[in-house]
Chain A
């Protein structure tokens, strides 16, 4: 079995354990929130009989382990129950709201990497000079405020005072796009509607930037630190002593090894964006899973809460597995974790 496959199986196993833990945790927390979910669901006018009936349907009278057992069996069957808030299957709600959030988080993650890494490389290459100091100031600025504060600032500046970008929503109301994937940037392209695609991207930009800013600063600082450290390694001096081109040394001798520790943090940052998206979505009235999550928590909508948290946990784990595999792909020390020859 290749080291790669073994690593994948190992990470999948660990993720499964984490998932079981997460499911128990959210199950427990959902049951601890005060108030009777059946009464909340039925409203103030329901009589005791109706409430008792719904409680039985929701297994709320059974012991906690039995309730958890029902929950797990249902989840494995792909049934997350019905949202008491939207009155629809939770899976259907998630299928509607998750793509909006992922679209936002993917773009923010892309911006973080596409801007943060080059800034870090630039700073490391010109370490100690003005370019380095400039990057340091930018990085400090971006991490000095949380994403939702940036969301408010960017919205005021570039949607309100300078109306360059739309102030809220995912796409202009004038377009009626068939939701095939739920990702509007993809659905508009599938529909061949370029102006609608432009509108979707236009709506994405500000919230994605707000979400990515602190990650940009982190990625830049980390990449710079790792690269400066790598530049001090003997194999860099060796490459210089053998007359390799400085650009080649920067690219494959200094950057590649520095990327490995950066990737771990970038993966964590990316996952953190899922959490930060809660407030950014609120600011930009972005109809995503995070906003849905807030709404269902406030309404003590048990099934929806557990479904949402579970999906976010799964997304988190998938991102982590991808990052781990990328690191293994880059780092021969992990690919060949045994000493072969001597």
Chain B
């Protein structure tokens, strides 16, 4: 059974001009320990999918969500807000685009670690949390963890903050890690380094990952399987190798020719918008 099972997920936003549909029936599965990538251009519905999985978008009054989102056998959509909050930061966690602005400028890294660790272990003492955080920072190859724990995010480099984010995201040994365009704000070589680190860490922990990116090149090294999303529809999915070896859907091909490698910032220029992009979903199956 898969850890995350999404079936026919639909999302619309209520606006003054009526309902705007954003997701048109997404199917997506992640097995335990599996690394999945969700790739598509900006505005295609990747972040909203992640926010539904986290149970955050359910609190937005204008959002209309339908379909099944099962996490570890429980239906996220039909849970109480309180139960959803219980899962966040413990069973699932997320890494955002820009590590430096995701960390709170008012608190030291050490304090923020304590807050995160207390999600799992509410009575954890400051001293114990410090010990745990030191070990965790050590695991992400941060030299002199004690100094970093005393520092504020704005005193650290982007790459260092990204390592801190990775350590925090995995601190409570979540079953699922969401990564929404992680490190896109960092420069290319730092981004590549931290992605390698993130892959090593999740493989070591057996964490399932939903990796969100607008860039097929970025996810090639990382993901076991890829879902390509276009305007709120999954247009193609399959094992990474199969998909790269034999991209079938017109939109996937366009994405591939647009950006063959890691880029720092910016959205890949998809050469043209074509009616072929709206062609039905192509699935490569699970194995090569």
Closest to B61 in A: A128
Residues of chain A contacted by B116 (CB below 8 angstroms): 242
User: B155, A341: Cβ atoms under 8 Å?
Assistant: yes
Segment at the interface with A among B97-105, B198-206, B253-261, B276-284: B97-105
User: B96, A332: Cβ atoms under 8 Å?
Assistant: no
User: A242, B88: Cβ atoms under 8 Å?
Assistant: yes
User: A257, B56: Cβ atoms under 8 Å?
Assistant: no
A231 CB to closest chain B CB (Å) equals 13
Q: Type the 1/0 row for B36-63, where 1 means its CB is closer than 8 Å to any CB of A.
A: 0000000000000000001010000000
Closest to A248 in B: B115
Q: Does A192 contact B (CB under 8 A)?
A: no
Q: Does B87 contact A (CB under 8 A)?
A: yes
Q: Does A47 contact B (CB under 8 A)?
A: no
User: B54, A241: Cβ atoms under 8 Å?
Assistant: yes
Q: Does B106 contact A (CB under 8 A)?
A: yes
A122 CB to closest chain B CB (Å) equals 18
> If the complex has contacts A234-B98, A240-B56, are A340 and B105 also in contact, measured as CB distance less than 8 A?
no
Residues of chain A contacted by B124 (CB below 8 angstroms): none
User: B90, A243: Cβ atoms under 8 Å?
Assistant: yes
User: A243, B88: Cβ atoms under 8 Å?
Assistant: yes
CA distance A328 to B127 in the complex (A): 27
B200 CB to closest chain A CB (Å) equals 23
Residues of chain B contacted by A243 (CB below 8 angstroms): 85-90, 119
Residues of chain A contacted by B144 (CB below 8 angstroms): 341
Within 8 A of B (CB), among A233-270: 233-235, 237-245, 252-253, 256-257
Complex partner residue of B152 from A237, A245, A257, A332, CB under 8 angstroms: A332
User: A340, B101: Cβ atoms under 8 Å?
Assistant: no
Q: Does B151 contact A (CB under 8 A)?
A: yes
User: A332, B105: Cβ atoms under 8 Å?
Assistant: yes
Known contacts A243-B87, A243-B88, A332-B106; 11 additional CB pairs below 8 A are A234-B96, A237-B56, A240-B88, A242-B88, A242-B93, A243-B85, A243-B86, A252-B106, A332-B108, A339-B155, A341-B151
Q: Which residues in B have some Cβ–Cβ distance to A below 8 Å?
A: 54, 56, 85-90, 93-94, 96-98, 101-106, 108, 115-116, 119, 144, 147-148, 151-152, 154-157, 160
* 30 cross-chain CB contacts under 8 A: A233-B101, A234-B96, A234-B97, A235-B102, A235-B103, A235-B105, A237-B96, A237-B102, A238-B96, A238-B103, A239-B104, A240-B88, A241-B94, A242-B88, A242-B115, A242-B119, A243-B85, A243-B89, A244-B119, A253-B104, A253-B106, A256-B106, A257-B106, A332-B152, A333-B105, A336-B155, A339-B154, A341-B151, A341-B156, A342-B160
